[in-house]
Amino acid sequence: MINISVMVSGGGSNLQAIMDAVADGRIADGRIALVLSSRDGVYALSRAQRAGLKTVVISKEEYKDADKKADAILAALSKAETGLVITAGYMSVIHEKVCAAYAGRMINIHPALLPKFGGLGYYGLRVHRAVLEAGEAETGATVHYVDTEGIDTGEIIMQRTVPVFADDTPETLQKRVLEEVEHDLIVEATALVVRELAAAGPGDEAAKRIARSDSDEAFERGGENGNPVE
């Protein structure tokens, strides 16, 4: 059984999708061991607490030093015996040493069809506004591994598409991507990664490197609504 830690910052709709999938068996080999938030008082924490899940808040206000914040995150993930980290709406910069510690075991969901509309500054409504300004006929969401090469540069695990309509606004497009593809996509990708990690077995770090490329050191800023902004 793979312990999953979900990192959040907001409403937690993708967290809820993961929780539901664990509960009904679509994610059969994993359990949520921790919900870690960069902000106190967010609805994602309420969702987790109602479900009886362990929660922790590690904020930049409490940890102004980036290294100390990273150490606190690593300590929380370690205490939860984390086997997989999912950034699902986590809108805070993740320190490189956190990502390196979970190389091949950290995934992110981004609300666009990477490599398009990813990277620095592409988060939230900014992503969808850019899609509309570019005149794209379709958009979607991407689940990818986190790496150290840059922002949203990790190997793609899977993608899903939705159409872009002529009368779309950033808000309507964001809603379509979230409701029609993101929730299902994060569940499918999580189930896939969890199965492969479980099959690899404990201590088999080479097999745990599920990413197919050799560039597997992890540094990412990610989340349900794109890159972190802090």
The encoded tokens of residue 58 equal: 């590690």
CB hemisphere CA count around 41 (13 angstroms): 0
Q: Which residue has the tokens 């993708």?
A: 14
Identity of residue 113: L
Burial of 135 (0-12, 13-18, 19+ CB in 10 A): exposed
128 is known as an active-site residue: no
Per residue in 39-59, is it b (16+ CB within 10 Å) or e — as a string? Answer: beebebbebbeebebebbbbb
- In the set 110, 128, 144, 183, the catalytic residue is 110
In whole angstroms, how far apart are CA 49 and each of 35, 36, 43, 87?
Answer: 9, 12, 10, 18
- By annotation, the residues acting in catalysis are 110
